[in-house]
Structure 1
Amino acid sequence: MRRSGAAAGAVAASSLVSGVAHAEPGATSSANAAGTTLEKVGVGGRANAKGYRKLVQGKGWPLFIREELATAKSGRDDRRTAVASFVQLTDIHITDVQSPARFEYVHPIQGPAFRPQEALGTQGAVALINRINALSGGPFTGRAFDCVVSTGDNTDNHEIIELEWYQRLLAGGAITPNTGSKTRFEGVQALGSALYYRPELDKPDIYKDRGFPTIPGILHAAMRTHTSPGLNMRWYSVFGNHDDQLLGTVPNGLVDWLYLSDVKYDLPGSDPTAQAIGQALGSDPAAVAGMLAKLKTTGPTLPATRDLRRRPYSPREFVRRHFDPALTGAGPVGHGFADPEGPTWYKFQIAPGLLGIAMNTTNSMGIADGSISEKQLAWIERQISSHSDQLVMVFSHHTSSTMTAKLPNPETPGERTFDGTHLVERLKSHTNVIAWVNGHTHRNEMIAHRGSTGKHSFWEINTASHIDFPQLARIIEVSDNKDGTLSIFTPLIEADSPYTADTSDLSQKGLASLYRELSYNDIHADLELLGKASDRNCELLLTHPLR
C-alpha cells in the first residue's frame, strides 16, 4: 500500500520484453482521452499518521502497443476504420450487506468476505453508469458504443434482491439498498465487533486503527432510496459464480435456510469455528453446512429482520428476470438470453460483422473456479463455424487459467466438463475468433494465445473488478487497419465521482467517492490487481482473419 499505482506501473513496464510490448507516448495525441484513464487516474495521496490515504488525481496511464500476434504497421492510424466499440463491466458484486447469509467474520482469512466500502456499492455503480453514458464513444475510433456487456458476478450472493438492484441499476429507476428493518441498519458495520469498519461509531476498530475516518450518518445515508439513470445503450449479462452460488462457492441447497434466518452470525476472529469456516470456504465448501448447523445453538449472533427478498435465485430465474419488461431499459428484451426458459448462454450481434457469444463457465458443484459443459461447447463451436464470414468475440466470467473445475456440474448432469486449456485449443481451431473477454480475477491482464497461424490466434482480455480497487471498467474498440491486421484498443475507465472524498458529503455522488477511497485503503487491498502497465490501456495487434 506504500506505492502509488503509477509507480507500480512504472516498475512493471521496465521489465517488458523489448519489441513485444512498448509504450507509445504520442499514440493518444489523436485520441479523445477525456473521461478515460488515458487522461487521469486516482492514486493514493499523502498518508495520515496511521497510514490512511486520500485519493488524488494522478497522471493517466500510457497506451501500450502489443505485437505478440502481429506487427504494427506504420500509417494505420490514418487508414483504420471502426468495426465495433463497446464497454465491459465485470465483477460489480452488488451486495445485500445486511443479509444473514454472509460470512464477514472470516475476512481475516478470506479477505473478500468483508469490504469496508461494500454498503456503498449501488451508489458506486451509478457513478460508473454516469461515466459510460457521458462518453461519446471509443477514444480511438470515435465510434459510439454499440452496447455494454457485464461479464459476471453481477450479484455477490445470488439473492433475488441483489439481482433486482443490479437490473435496476442498468435499466434505470429507483433503488433502495436496504433489507430487513426499514429503519435500522442491521449489518456488522453497525452492530458488529471491532473486527469490522464501523464508521458511525466513535469507537476503535481494526480499520480505524489504520486511520479510517468516523463518518456519522453514513450507513443511514447508504440505505436511502436513490436513482440510476440506466444505461443509454443495449446491455447484456453474463453469468458468474457469485450469480450461481452462496458467496460464489458454497454448493446450492446446503445452507439455503441461512438466507431467511432471523439472526446473523458474528464470530470473533480468534474463534476456532470462524477459522475453520474460513479455511473450508477455500478448500471444502460443503463442510460449511455442518459448522453452521452447530452455530445455530452456540452463536454468537446479531439480530436480523427476516426478509423474503433475500431468497436465492436459480440459474433459470436469473434468465427469466432478464425478460421482465419493467427492467428492460435500453434493451434488448432478454438482454441476450434467447428464451425465458432457455440456456444461460447465447449469441448476440455486437455490431455488423462482429458476433458475440456469451458463455456460462460456472460449475455449481461448490467451486469458485469454472469449467464448460460438453453440450455448451459443441453449441459454441457450431455458432463460430456457421458465422465464418464474421469476426467473433467470446465472453465469460472465468479466465482460461481459472477454469480448472473439471468435476461433474450438477446443472449439466451426465455431461463431460472441460477446462480452460481445452477451451483455448478449441477456440484456436477456428480462424475467426479474435478475442475472449472475461473477469473473475479482479485483475487486469492481456494474454496472447498464438495458434498454428496468425488467423488461428486470439487475445484474452481480463479486466479488474468494480468492487475492489482500482474499480475499473473497460472500453473495447475493434478497428480494421486496412493492412491485413486488426487493432483491439482496451482503454480503462473509472466511475464519475470525485477522487478525493469529502466525509461530510453523504449525497449519492459523495457516497460513490467514498466507495472508491475506502476500497483503496481496505486492509486487504492489493495494488497488484492493477496488473502491469502493459495490461491496462493497450492496442492489441492481430492478423485480420477474414482478409
Structure 2
Amino acid sequence: MLTVHERIVSGPVLRAGSSSSYRSLVTTEGERHSLRTELTGPTGHDVRARGNALLAIGHMTDLHVTDVESPARFEFLNRFAGDARFRELLTMQRPQEALNSHAIAAMVRAMNAIEAAPVSGSPLELLVMTGDAIDNAQANEFAIYMALFEGGMVTPASGGLEIESVQSPGWPDDIFWKPEGSGSAPDQFRIAYGFPLVPGLLDRAMRPFESQGLRMPWIGGHGNHEELCQGVGIVTPELARAMVAGRKPIGVPEGLDAATALETFVIRPHHFMSGATVAVTADPNRRPLDIGAFVEAHFRPGARPYGHGFTAANRRDRAAYYVHDTSSVRLIVLDTSCRAGGADGCINREQLAWLEERLVEVHAIYTDRGGETVRTSNTNRLVVIASHHPLFTLRNDRAAGAAQADEVLRLLHRFANVVLCLNGHVHMNLVQPHANREGSSVGFWEVTTGSMVDWPGQGRVVEIFDAGAGRLAIACTMVDHDGPADPGPALSPQEMAGLHRQLALNDPIAGAVTTRAGTSADRNVILTLPAPYPLRA
C-alpha cells in the first residue's frame, strides 16, 4: 500500500500496563510528497517527471528472517536493554519476531500490487534488497528468505515438533512476551506494557504457509547479520557446533564483565553458551552460512536476474559486491559487513579500489585524487550506490586498514554521476543530503529505509527522473504491507502480518517510542539535484 494514499498509524489505547499502554493501529489519510531542495536551492519550476523514469525500483532491507528456536541466540541479554555497554548487542529478541516471515510475505504481496510508481507512473523494474535478510547467519533462515522472495512453501519452524522458543508458555523466564500465557503469573510484557493474550499464536506462526514470491526481478545484498552471529559475533568453530546442537543458553555466563561483554561477544560469542542452558532439539539445517554459501544460494533455476545480481566473479572470489546496469543507471552494490566482527560497517582496500574503477567506467569527466579534472571517452551513466550500511556507520575499526566514512565520502564526491546512496542497517527512515563544495559534483542524496522487523515495518519505492530545467529528481514513497491495521484474532497469515506490525509499534525497546519512523522529510519526499549531464529519459 503506497502511503501517499493511506497510512497506518498509532491509534487508541487497547490496554494499560504499569509502565505504558498498548495501542491499536488505525488507517488515516495519506502523506503527500514534500520537496527537498538542499542540493539545488529553491526552484521556481514544478518538479514533475518528464517522460518515463530513468529508474523505478522497490527497496526492502533488514528483513531479519529469524529462527526463533535457535540454540545460538542469546535473548536473555535483553535484560541489559538500559545499559549502554550492551547497545551494540541489542535488540536480541522482539515480541513480534515469530511473525517476521508473515510480515515479509505481506510486503512481497504489497510490492507486487504496485502497478505504477506514484510520481512518474513507470512500472517497477527491479527490487533491491540491501542486506540483513536473515537474523543469525543460519542456512535455514536463508532458505526461508529465498522461499519468501522466490515464491513457494515457507517453513518457519526448526528443530522438533514442539515449539522451543523463549515465548513458549513454559520457558523459564518472564522477560519475554508469551502470547499464550506463562502459567502461574503474567510475563513482564503483559504486566508493564499491556500486551495481549493470543491463544494458539505460536502454533499458527510456525505452520508452513505459501508465499506469493516477488513478480519482479530482484537483486540482493550482504549485511552483518548474514555474516555474524546476531550481526555482531564472529562465527567461531565452537559456535558453529552449538548452532546445530541441542543445548540453549538461558542466562549470562558466571562472572561476565559488562565492561568487556561486547568485545567478548565479537571474538568469542560461544563464551555466552557457558552459562545455564536447557535442552532443545538439534537441527543440522541451522548450520552457519558463510560468504561463499551465501553467494552460491542466489544461483538457482528461474532466478531473475540469474544470481540475483551476484556474478561468476563473486562465486569464484567469494565476494559479495557487484555491478548491476539498467538501461540508464548503474547500481553498484557494496559489501560493507566487517569480517572482523561488530555491527558497524567498513570497506576493505580491494573493494574500495574496485569501486573507483567501476565509477570511472561511467563518467566522461571526473576529479582524480589530486583534484585535477580528468576527461574520458566513457559514456555517462547515473550511479546509485546500494549497501547495507549508511555512510555514517562505516566506522568499524576492527578490520585493519579498512576505509571508513570520510574516505568513502571523499571518493564518491569526485564522481558527479553519483546521485544516490541507498541502504538500511539502522532500522529507521532517514534522508540526508551530502553536499560537495569542491570539484564537479554538487553532492548526492542518501536514503536509508527502515527495517521490516521493527516499527513501522515498511518498504520504499524509489524513482529517478528528469525533472526538466537541467534538474534531476529522486522520488521516495513509503510502502505499508498488506496486513490489516486491525489484526483481529490473528488466525490467517495476513492477520498475523497485521499483528506483527501492532506488536512492533508497542515494543518498548524498538517501537513507536523511538525515532525509527523518521519525520515527513524522511518518508515521502522528492529530492532535487542538478543533472550531472544532459539526460535522456
What amino acid does structure 2 have at the position aligned with 1:542? Answer: L
1:281/1:491 Cα in 2 relative to 1: closer, same or farther (>3 Å)?
farther
The CA distance in 2 between the partners of 1:52 and 1:46, in whole Å, is 9
Q: Pick the structure with more helix per residue.
A: 1
In the alignment, what sits opposite 2:369?
none
Q: 8 Å contact 1:67–1:542 — kept in the other structure?
A: yes
1:180/1:78 Cα in 2 relative to 1: closer, same or farther (>3 Å)?
closer
1:287/1:251 Cα in 2 relative to 1: closer, same or farther (>3 Å)?
closer
What amino acid does structure 1 have at the position aligned with 2:322? Answer: Y
In the alignment, what sits opposite 2:449?
463
In the alignment, what sits opposite 1:38?
4
In the alignment, what sits opposite 1:315?
291
1:471/1:289 Cα in 2 relative to 1: closer, same or farther (>3 Å)?
closer
1:93 and 2:64 aligned:
yes
The CA distance in 1 between the partners of 2:234 and 2:7, in whole Å, is 39
Q: Return the offset for 1:272.
A: 7.4
Q: 8 Å contact 2:239–2:270 — kept in the other structure?
A: no
Q: Provide the TM-score with structure 2 as the length reference.
A: 0.88
Correspondence for 1:49 among 5, 10, 16: 16
Deviations along 1:69-106, one digit per CA (max 9) or x if unpaired, are 01434144274542110011010110001000001111
1:531 and 2:518 aligned:
yes
Aligned residues: 493
Q: Return the offset for 1:293.
A: 5.4
In the alignment, what sits opposite 1:104?
75
The CA distance in 2 between the partners of 1:498 and 1:293, in whole Å, is 39
In the alignment, what sits opposite 2:218?
235
Q: 8 Å contact 2:382–2:418 — kept in the other structure?
A: yes
SS in 1 for 2:149: helix
Q: 8 Å contact 2:49–2:120 — kept in the other structure?
A: no
Q: Return the offset for 1:305.
A: 0.5
1:188 and 2:154 aligned:
no
SS in 2 for 1:384: helix
1:165/1:290 Cα in 2 relative to 1: closer, same or farther (>3 Å)?
closer
Q: Return the offset for 1:255.
A: 2.2
In the alignment, what sits opposite 1:25?
none
Q: 8 Å contact 1:122–1:177 — kept in the other structure?
A: yes
1:437 and 2:422 aligned:
yes
The CA distance in 2 between the partners of 1:400 and 1:378, in whole Å, is 17
SS in 1 for 2:272: helix
The CA distance in 1 between the partners of 2:92 and 2:398, in whole Å, is 25
In the alignment, what sits opposite 1:172?
151
1:395/1:290 Cα in 2 relative to 1: closer, same or farther (>3 Å)?
closer
SS in 1 for 2:175: coil
Q: Return the offset for 1:321.
A: 0.6
Deviations along 1:179-226, one digit per CA (max 9) or x if unpaired, are 001x21111111422111111126400111121111111111011110
The CA distance in 2 between the partners of 1:470 and 1:158, in whole Å, is 24
In the alignment, what sits opposite 1:257?
241
Correspondence for 2:130 among 142, 151, 155: 151
1:46/1:75 Cα in 2 relative to 1: closer, same or farther (>3 Å)?
closer
Correspondence for 1:337 among 296, 305, 310: 310
What amino acid does structure 1 have at the position aligned with 2:289? Answer: Y
The CA distance in 1 between the partners of 2:270 and 2:307, in whole Å, is 39
Q: Return the offset for 1:324.
A: 2.3
What amino acid does structure 2 have at the position aligned with 1:89? Answer: M
Shifted more, 153-162 versus 333-342: the winner is: 333-342
1:211/1:260 Cα in 2 relative to 1: closer, same or farther (>3 Å)?
same
1:356/1:289 Cα in 2 relative to 1: closer, same or farther (>3 Å)?
closer
Q: Return the offset for 1:378.
A: 1.0
In the alignment, what sits opposite 2:467?
481
Q: 8 Å contact 1:391–1:434 — kept in the other structure?
A: yes
Deviations along 1:423-463, one digit per CA (max 9) or x if unpaired, are 11101101211111011111111111112256341111111
Q: 8 Å contact 1:70–1:454 — kept in the other structure?
A: no
In the alignment, what sits opposite 1:140?
119
The residue correspondences of 1:344-493 to structure 2 (distance < 5 A) are 344-349=320-325, 351-388=326-363, 389-408=380-399, 416-451=401-436, 452=438, 455-493=441-479
SS in 2 for 1:230: coil
The residue correspondences of 1:185-224 to structure 2 (distance < 5 A) are 185-190=163-168, 191-192=170-171, 193-201=173-181, 203=183, 204-209=186-191, 210-224=193-207
Q: Return the offset for 1:356.
A: 0.3
The residue correspondences of 1:275-294 to structure 2 (distance < 5 A) are 276=257, 280=260, 282-286=262-266, 288-289=268-269, 291-292=271-272, 294=274
The CA distance in 2 between the partners of 1:235 and 1:293, in whole Å, is 37
1:62/1:283 Cα in 2 relative to 1: closer, same or farther (>3 Å)?
farther
What amino acid does structure 2 have at the position aligned with 1:213? Answer: P
1:223/1:280 Cα in 2 relative to 1: closer, same or farther (>3 Å)?
farther
In the alignment, what sits opposite 1:248?
231
Q: 8 Å contact 1:320–1:341 — kept in the other structure?
A: no
What amino acid does structure 2 have at the position aligned with 1:248? Answer: G
What amino acid does structure 1 have at the position aligned with 2:526? Answer: E
What amino acid does structure 1 have at the position aligned with 2:441? Answer: K
Q: 8 Å contact 2:475–2:525 — kept in the other structure?
A: yes
Q: 8 Å contact 2:248–2:273 — kept in the other structure?
A: no
Deviations along 1:262-287, one digit per CA (max 9) or x if unpaired, are 021112xxx6759757x655454246
What amino acid does structure 1 have at the position aligned with 2:16? Answer: A
Q: Return the offset for 1:523.
A: 1.8
Q: 8 Å contact 2:105–2:211 — kept in the other structure?
A: yes
In the alignment, what sits opposite 1:161?
140
1:289/1:516 Cα in 2 relative to 1: closer, same or farther (>3 Å)?
closer
1:293/1:136 Cα in 2 relative to 1: closer, same or farther (>3 Å)?
closer
Gaps of at least 5 residues in structure 2 are 82-89, 364-379
What amino acid does structure 2 have at the position aligned with 1:95? Answer: T
Q: Return the offset for 1:239.
A: 0.3
Q: Provide the TM-score with structure 1 as the length reference.
A: 0.87
Shifted more, 54-63 versus 510-519: the winner is: 54-63
1:334/1:272 Cα in 2 relative to 1: closer, same or farther (>3 Å)?
closer
What amino acid does structure 2 have at the position aligned with 1:42? Answer: I
The CA distance in 1 between the partners of 2:262 and 2:388, in whole Å, is 19
The CA distance in 2 between the partners of 1:508 and 1:540, in whole Å, is 36
Deviations along 1:217-239, one digit per CA (max 9) or x if unpaired, are 11110111101111001101110
SS in 1 for 2:316: coil
Q: 8 Å contact 2:117–2:124 — kept in the other structure?
A: yes
Q: 8 Å contact 1:53–1:521 — kept in the other structure?
A: yes
The CA distance in 1 between the partners of 2:211 and 2:49, in whole Å, is 39
Q: 8 Å contact 2:414–2:441 — kept in the other structure?
A: no
The CA distance in 2 between the partners of 1:115 and 1:121, in whole Å, is 10
